[in-house]
Amino acid sequence: MRAFLKSRALSFTYAFSGWWHVIRTQRNAWIHALVGLMVVVLGFWLGISPRDWAVIVLAIALVWTAEFINTALEAIVDLASPETNELAKAGKDVGAAAVLIAALSSVIIGLLILGPPLWHKIQTLIFNS
C-alpha cells in the first residue's frame, strides 16, 4: 500500500512538473491564464448560475487541455524530427489548430453565457445613472 501511495504522489509531481513547463515555456499559456481569470472575475461579478459555471469551467479546461496536448506534441515532434520536415510541420500545425478551435469555441461559449447578463448590467449602469 505504501508503494502505491508513493507512486501516486510521484504521478502528481510529474503532472505539476508538466504544468510548470507549460507555464514557463508557452507564451499563449499566459494569455489563456489572463483571459480565464478575467472570465472567472466577470462570472462572479455577474452572478452566473451553477450550470453556467459548469460550462465556463469546461470551456476553460478545454483550452488548457488543448494547449497542454499541443505542447507535448511539439516536444515529441522536435525530439523525433529535429530537422525541418513537412510531416513534422503538419503535426505541429494541426496541434496549433486544435488549440485555436478550443479557444474560439470557448469565446463563443463565453459570449453566449456572459453576454446577455453583461449587456443587461451595462444597460442598468448607463440608464439608471
The region, left, alpha or beta by phi > 0 then psi within -120 to 50, assigned to residue 47 is left
Joined together, the cell numbers standing for residue 7 give 507512486
Joined together, the cell numbers standing for residue 109 give 461559449
pLDDT of residue 16: 94
pLDDT of residue 93: 97
Burial (CB count within 10 angstroms: exposed 0-12, middle 13-18, buried 19+), residue 66: buried
Which of 67, 74, 83, 86 does the annotation list as catalytic? 67
pLDDT of residue 127: 87
User: Per-residue pLDDT for 128 more than 90?
Assistant: no
pLDDT of residue 92: 96
User: Per-residue pLDDT for 26 more than 90?
Assistant: yes
Cα distance between residue 34 and residue 41, in whole Å: 11
Q: What mean pLDDT is predicted for residues 2-6?
A: 86
Cβ 94 vs Cβ 66: under 8 Å: no
Residue 129: which pLDDT band, with cuts at 50, 70 and 90? low
The sign of the torsion formed by the CA atoms of 66, 69, 74, 80 equals negative
Catalytic residue list contains 86: no
User: Per-residue pLDDT for 2 more than 90?
Assistant: no
Joined together, the cell numbers standing for residue 58 give 469546461
Joined together, the cell numbers standing for residue 106 give 470557448
Domains and CATH numbers, the chain: 28-127 (1.10.287.3610)
Cα distance between residue 11 and residue 69, in whole Å: 17
Q: What mean pLDDT is predicted for residues 18-35?
A: 95
Chain centroid to CA 36:
7
**Residues 60-111: tens digit of each pLDDT:** 999 999 999 999 999 999 999 999 999 999 999 999 999 999 999 999 999 9
